[in-house]
Amino acid sequence: MKTFALRVLLVLGVLLVGPATAFAQVLPSFSTWENDKHSILSVGFVNGAQFSGVFINHAAGFQCQNIPYPVTGSVLPNGAITFVVDFTACSTVTTWRGRVMGSRIATKWFLVYRDSHGGIHRMRGADLFTRR
């Protein structure tokens, strides 16, 4: 009986912890990434498919420089990643979509900016992140 209970616990453990570790392998918790424009993505705890962190913009030609902004995102076991930053002081929200490939994250981003007259502006681009 004791052995049976232990086996049940083991199976439950594998079922519960297995998926969490699979996600964590793709995007490591507490990892730091720098993009080709020298902006920094600091990934916090990766909880299943969800993660949070901090993004600091250093890209030339953009505003809201050197300010840590919260990031929220999701990552799948196949490496597909999406994350979003609300640059509140700049009325800009940027969404990145891409793929984690080892020590690189290749992304395309989409930025929406609301000007002081309420006009909406959109920009697109690509960022390549490398693990630091």
CA distances from residue 95 to 52, 56, 73, 74, 82 in whole angstroms, order as listed? 14, 14, 9, 12, 7
Q: Within positions 70 to 109, which residues make up the interface with ligand BTN, using CB under 6 A?
A: 87, 90, 92, 94, 109
Cβ of residue 77: shortest distance to ligand BTN, in angstroms?
A: 26
Q: Within positions 19 to 58, which residues make up the interface with ligand BTN, using CB under 6 A?
A: 35, 37, 39, 57
By CB under 6 A, tell whether 69 contacts ligand BTN: no
What six digits make up the tokens of 1? 């009986």
Distance of alpha carbon 96 from alpha carbon 44, whole angstroms:
17
Which residues are at the interface with ligand BTN (CB under 6 A)? 35, 37, 39, 57, 59, 62-64, 87, 90, 92, 94, 109, 111, 113, 125, 127
